[in-house]
Structures are given as C-alpha cells and as structure tokens.
Structure 1
C-alpha cells in the first residue's frame, strides 16, 4: 500500500513478479477462465482461489489488475452461489465441512475486495491529470459490494461480522469522500448498480435491519431491496441530532441508534437520516414497478418490521431474570400439537363432529383446571424412580432428544399405509439462559443437527409449569453460543383438527390446529392454524377433538409467518342469522320479498 494513499485498508504484501496461471492482462485471464471446468465445483473453486491468492501478491499495473479482476468476478460469484447450498437452509449448528465452505466463500469475496483496493491505490498514485476517476469509483464500489456479500452471508447465518470488517468499510467510504467519488454512479450487473455511497449505505442499513429476527430467506431479499432503499437515505456529518443512526468511522462498529449511543458524537462522526425512507417507500418495493425494477418476495409484516427497525429503537417492556435450568422443546406445529395432545396420534382427531361429541373428553380435566387462565397449576408431573422430574412424559424408547419431523405432503385421511407414524415426534433438551414476562432466551445445544428458523412455532415444557407453553421463535444468534429468543403466545392450549366448511359440508382435509386462550382484550379465543395457505379471513371452519366439536368463523388475522397463521374467531352458531319464527308467515314473507325476483 502506498504511504500517500487515502485508503487505509491493509493490503497484501507484493512478493511475486509473475502469475503462474496466466499473463498479467485481461485477455490472458479471460482465456484461462474459459478453460475452467465449471461443472466441477470443487476443482473450479480451487483454481479460482489459487488465482486470486497469487494475484494479490503479484506486482501488476493497476489498470491490468483492474481488468483481470473484472474478468474473474463473474466466475467467482457463480462459484459462491454454488457453495451456498452447503450452508443455507441447514441446521443452526453447522458441521465442520459446512463451516469450511462458509470460510472459503468469505475468503473469495474478501480477496476480490482487496484486489480492487490494490487497483484503487495504484490508480490513485497516477498523475492527477490522467487519473481515471470512473475506474477509481468502480474499484471502491466493487470492494464495498464484495464486503457486502460477506456481511449478507454472516447475517444469513445469524452471526456477527469478522474483526476489522466495519473499519475496512469505513476506510473505503472515507477514501471516496476525499477523492469526491461518493456520488459517482457505477454499473454492476451482478450485485446492482448505484453510487459508491449507496454501496456503503446498503451494508449499513442491512446491519440496522435486525436480521436476527428475520427468516433466513428474507435476509437476502432485504439486501436486494436495499439497492433501491439506500438511495432514499441520507448520510452526513452535520445535523446529527436529526439522524436515526450514528457511527464513528474510526471504530470497528456498525451504526447504532442515536438514542442508544453511549458517548457524545465528536467531529468526524457520521449520521444516517432515514426520515426520507417512509413506510410507503418500503412497502412499494414489494411489487415490481418500472421505477424500482424490484419484485421482493417479502410479506407485508416483514416490510413493516423493517420500517420499524429503520426508524425507532425498541424498548424492553419487562426485566430479564437469569436462569440455568432445562426445558423440553418441540420444534414445529406438528410436534407441538402431538405433545399438547398428551401424545395422542392425529388419527384420533380426524373424526366427524357427531362422533366426537360421543367420545370421552380427554381434555376435560385440563378444562376443569381452567386452562384459559395465565396462572400456573398444581404440579402433577410424574417422577421417575431416580427422583428426577420427567415432565409427565413417557421417556423415549431410545432416549432420543431430537424431534424427527416428516416434511412430506399430508396424505388423505383414509390412506393409512402411506401416513407416517405419529410416534416419530420427540423433543430435545435445551438450557434456558433467562426469562422475562413475555418469553425466554434459550441456548441451542451444539450437538443438535436440527433446523430452526425465526417465525417457527415451538412448544416449551419447564419443571415449574404443568402445561406446554406455545411460543414462536423471534430471533436467532449463532456466534460462540447458539441462542434463540422466543415469545410465549400462550401458557396453555388445546389441540384440535380443523377443516374448511362450505355450504355446511367439508371442503378440505383435516389439519392440525391449536386453540389458544384469549389475551384478555377480546372475548373470543384464538386459533393457531397449521397450514396458512388453506384458511383465510371470513371462512368457516370446523374444529374437532375427542369430546368436542364446533364451527367457527375466522375473523381478522392477528399474526402470520411462513409457519403459521393466528386468527381471532367467533362461534359460527352463535352468530348465525335468526331463524324464521313459526306462526308469523306474514313477517317471513316480508323477509323473502326481495328474494322472489332473484330466484
């Protein structure tokens, strides 16, 4: 790195005079790239890694280095996209092989970023009269974009960025300021065109998006949307009191809310003003338009969550209490339904309503204990011969701590030969780190190879409580400790089966549903539905369990995610229109006058 350069990012030491794979020019690099066996992901990745590593240590003209990197960059992104299959949509605790793949992908992006930094330093050292401003801006934009890929991957795995990550990004933007390149537009067909400032703000806003609360697939969608949203945000070094976020470019930290900043800003600090980014701007990006050319597959609830994250910090409503005890966790609505049903197979819930009313009610005892109350009931759990609490559950035959969930399509009720046995649902043990009035912070066991995602329904059984709590995963962090934050939706629940009713007849197969207690603000209970695609507001459903059946009209949707939908509902019988009164034919005839012509 030149001592006179404005860029303070440490660069690799130059130790070579030639490259072993190709001549140091763009045409030679392109010819070498054409011969790569792209169908062989492992071999191509190995050769690209070697080529980038050597290039970072070879003495090369800045223009030639820039052209070589431009030729290599598309191939690198093809490879990193292929590598993603090894670590995305996987268990939160990755195996060693997947961890190495993540490190390799980060290294490829970082090598590209450092290569563009080297090109920028070389171009900057040329005479001011012949200094290519456009190429210099492209180098900074490319470096920021490549670091953005590292950040995206980090947040997709619910981790924190590596050391010096933010410092390198701040140095790149400072160089753009000194060279007056922040508003220079740069074309980028791979990661999105825009100005150097937009590339910087894109990463800053991603860091402010509370990605630990988002489902993994949504995080990349948010990063895509930031191509547009970053243009609506102002970053400046004055009037910091009206900015939402503040950052110190001399520190290796991401932006923080202005209200939460621990020290008074000093000269050189930057502020991010998101007041120009209205909720309407955020929601408009969910649909493709000629202006934005974006088509984000994000639910409205996620877009509203982003709007809240970019405009105001959240405040904790209740105090956390440290804990160190074990909880049993069921993952997914199917397994949670199974344990709420006292280990009853779902076959027992797939019955006609007339038959259900004739069967004994296995939940009557629970009902007599007033399951709708929020208070804990008496401790009626069983204790094994060793004197340890077993939470009232029959121990697993093989003491399996992990739930086994079959994600295959639901079979028809009569096709018992293809339906998996319910007994495969089990639980895992996890440690509660702390609790609050609304939920828990739970440490995820390292040895568990189970997928977990935000918005997932889980059941929680603790030694100090008799019933299974129904909760939803709100956030995930996976650094030194693998943790998740869960919000308790209800402290008790009753399992049902649910099916759609049309004209008084069944119109769908049975699906799992869990009825939750009222939250106290509405007289009606709530129903948690298994399949969010099968039910909608205004529909009538039939809820059935042994000993009880009812028909309910779904009112407004309270909450939804990719795993569940929560509705208010009313008893359909209670809200049925009044029946005709016998002995009042004239009154009934008046009610029907408007109907004759239609018929």
Structure 2
C-alpha cells in the first residue's frame, strides 16, 4: 500500500477502529493486523506513531478477549478455522511488537537537546510488554518464534540497563527487569508440552515468581557449574549448560532460579497436603504440573534415544473413543456385550495421513495436516502404516508445534504399547448414572504388565473395576498409575482375586 494512503490522523483512525467487525474474528483480526503492518511502514514522527499505536492497543483490549474466548475451550490445532484464528492472532501481535520496536528506535535516534526521557521510557516499556504478549500468544497457539526475537529482547534489556531504566514500570504493571525475567522463564519452559489449562497456570506462576530470579555474572562463578546460561549476544533463551567462565563473554549471566524454585516447592508441598487430606482432581493435576516445572527448571529433559530419519506415511487416529472404534473392527458394539445405546452412533472422523519425519526406540516425529484429528499435547494416538492395522501402536502426544504456514502441525509422540484391545470398564462400586466406559487394554509385553487406559481421572489406589472384553467379564484392581495427561490415565492392574 502507498504510504500516502495510510490514515495517520488519530480521530479518523479511532473511528475506523471503533467500526471494525469485532464479532467476525477472522476478518477483524485480518484488518487489525494489516493496519498495524502498514502503520509500521509509513514514515511518521515517532510520537505520532506512538499515539496511533495506543489507539490500536485499546482495540486489541477489545479484540483479544473475544479471540481467547473462542479458542481457549477448543483444540486449537484440530480444525482449519481455529488454526486460522491462531495464525491471525500471532501475526497481529508480531506486527504490534515490530511497530513498537521501530517507534522506539526512531525516538532514540533523535537526540534533540530538550528531549525528555519519559516518552522513551514509556516506549521501551510498551515494547517489552508487546514482546511478552507476542511470546504468550505464540506459546498459547503452539507457534514458533521468528529469528531475531530473543536477540531483540536481550537488546531491549541491555538498553534499559545502560540508561538505568530497568526498575521503571507503567502504572499497574511490572518493572522492566521483571518483565524481562518473565520472558526468559517462559522461554526456557517447554510450553508445547502443556495443555491450554496447564499453560495458563504456568504463565501465572511465571509472572509471580520472575521477581525472585537473579542474573549472576559468570565472572564470579566457579568453573564447571551447571545451570541456565544467558548469553545476550545469542538469539536464544537461556540454555542449560556447563558454565566455564573463562571461555564466556563478560556480559553472560547465570539465571539463578534457586529462590523461585524454593517458592515453587513450598506451593507443591501445600498442594500435596491438600490432595492427601481432601482428594481433588484439580489439586492432583496442579501438583503434577508443579512437580514437572520444578524438574524442568532445575534441569531440562534430554532426548533418551537417537533418532533416525524416515520418510514413511502413517495413518493416525486421535482420542480414546475413535481408537476404540478402530481396534473394535469399525463398530461401537463390543462382541459379547449388551447394546447400551438405542440410537446408533456415528462413526468417528476418518484417520489422517501424517509423514513420519524420524523415529527412535521410544517414538516418532510426525508432521502433516491433522484434518479432524486432535493433535494436542497429552492426547492418545493410534499410529499404523497405511492399510496395516495389525501393526498399530498406541502412542501419546508429548509436544506439538504449528508450522509457520498455519496449515501443517508437527508433533513428537511416545510409544505406549502395541496392538491395543477394546474393553469396557466400570467401577464395581457405582453411583446413580454410572455406566461402562470405553477403554483400551495393552497386553503384557516386553517386561511390562497388563495396562488399562481410560479417559478422565478414574485412578484410585486398589480401586476395583468390572472389566469387560470379548472373552467375558472380570473383576480387576488398579494398583499403579503408570502415566497420565489431561486426557487419559494409564494404569497397571491385576485380577481382584490375586490381591
């Protein structure tokens, strides 16, 4: 667009923003993103652009809650519509960050004699807040960050330190130094392994704990210490390394998380006490998340097995019920069981074809169009070569990442077992309205015991279930929780008579 055609008058821009179709989220997001894009590329006095950007912020305060309300209770990656909304949201905040960064640089480049520092400080703070929100929405929608993002954040913090502005804050928000630490802590957290609910809690914890993080110059550290190293000359978040001060630049720092970890452990202990005295699914889930964060912030996960490249295709189905249908030979009726539904159920969506990019002993890297399959962190998958259901493997999604195009999705999956079998399960002590639930049985193999996978949170130590399979009904007790996600629990069990 010709820069001369871009509206730069605050009154008419405000009127245009007010008229935007906020009820039409895709169109409104597209128009806001375009407006910010062109505003950032139109020659303007920096303070004039700053005024216009603040008008856009008011519009975003109206648009973003609507976008979040549309996406937070749905699987972002499961449909073209939600993937489009995710990409529009990410591009929108990317353009906002770029526009604020450009305005700040232009303002700093003007060394007028009577220039006040306050507008520069405000611009720096808004730019850091835009960076934080850009990171937030990228993680929320499982999108990769562009090259240069981390270097920009490090340079903004370095600017604040050089001017003595690190403790400055906008009314009602955190100081710039704290915002930077929030960004760093979010950056070293594997957000693509978390569900939307887990990510929201993680973000709240990060915001609360970031003020307890300190940056310790490497010059005063002993040789051979392991920790998260921050190199402001690198385009990356802090990385967990063996720190050798003699080989590092003087501006490198150790991200000292000890105080934040102590606070997190205290919260975890309190949650565990609460869950122990008053059993609560929410408390147990939060305790599991906090335990994972404590582990990750002390030392990140490392790949356990070497990966080998592969260029094969796989049929993929997601979710306990669709997988149950497939392994039950395309039927909702378990052989030998009484029909429970009077109304015939529709078959699940067809499997999608994904590319196996690489594989290891423990899992696969898959990429492609998920179509109607729910490739979300913690979901259960059935993976098999095309037209070879006898080679099916039951897997769990460990992490997800949307590709930059917004169409394809990439995910890492862990193999749980092979040849899952359909079963029906119901607690032996029932309540009104209880009925058999569809589940999956993994037969004992490779030194692993019989395992039962059920949706939700049914596990309780030695809880007894009626287990129905094509061979008949048995009473079993679950004895050990092997693993769980927000979407399933995988439990070891034995016949009740063996206890």
The CA deviation at 1:50 is 6.8
Hey, what does 2:321 align to over in structure 1?
334
Unaligned runs of at least 5 residues, structure 2: 272-281
- 1:197-596 correspondence runs (5 A): 197-238=177-218, 239=220, 242=225, 244-259=227-242, 264-278=247-261, 280-281=263-264, 284=267, 299-348=286-335, 350-351=337-338, 414-417=340-343, 419-421=344-346, 423-424=347-348, 426-444=350-368, 446=369, 448-462=371-385, 466-479=390-403, 482-502=409-429, 508-518=434-444, 525-530=450-455, 532-534=456-458, 536-575=460-499
Hey, what does 1:178 align to over in structure 2?
162
Q: 1:222 to 1:48 in 2, by over 3 A?
A: same
Structure 2 Cα separation of the partners of residues 546 and 488 of structure 1: 25
The CA deviation at 1:41 is 5.3
1:164 equivalenced with 2:131 (yes/no): no
The CA deviation at 1:420 is 0.8
Write 1 or 2 for the structure with the bigger share of helix.
2
8 Å contact 1:221–1:297 — kept in the other structure? no
TM-score of the pair, normalised by structure 2: 0.79
Higher Cα Rg: structure 1 or 2? Answer: 1
Hey, what does 2:99 align to over in structure 1?
114
Unaligned runs of at least 5 residues, structure 1: 1-14, 289-294, 352-412, 576-599
Q: 1:130 to 1:106 in 2, by over 3 A?
A: same
Q: 1:150 aligns with which of 134, 155, 158?
A: 134
Q: Deviations over 1:508-551 (max 9, x none)?
A: 201112222457778x6331113x24554443210011223211
The CA deviation at 1:126 is 6.8
Structure 1 Cα separation of the partners of residues 269 and 66 of structure 2: 27
- The number of residues matched between the two structures is 477
Instruction: Return 565-574 or 118-127, whichever deviates more.
Output: 118-127
Q: 1:512 to 1:100 in 2, by over 3 A?
A: closer
The CA deviation at 1:109 is 5.0
Structure 2 Cα separation of the partners of residues 66 and 286 of structure 1: 46
8 Å contact 2:334–2:469 — kept in the other structure? no
Q: 1:498 to 1:205 in 2, by over 3 A?
A: same
Q: Deviations over 1:281-306 (max 9, x none)?
A: 16738999xxxxxx999633232222
Structure 1 Cα separation of the partners of residues 341 and 391 of structure 2: 32
Write 1 or 2 for the structure with the bigger share of strand.
2
8 Å contact 2:310–2:359 — kept in the other structure? yes
RMSD (Å), alpha carbons: 4.2
SS in 2 for 1:508: coil
The CA deviation at 1:498 is 0.4
Q: 1:429 to 1:225 in 2, by over 3 A?
A: same
Hey, what does 1:22 align to over in structure 2?
10
The CA deviation at 1:258 is 1.7
Instruction: Return 509-518 or 463-472, whichever deviates more.
Output: 463-472
Structure 2 Cα separation of the partners of residues 573 and 453 of structure 1: 38
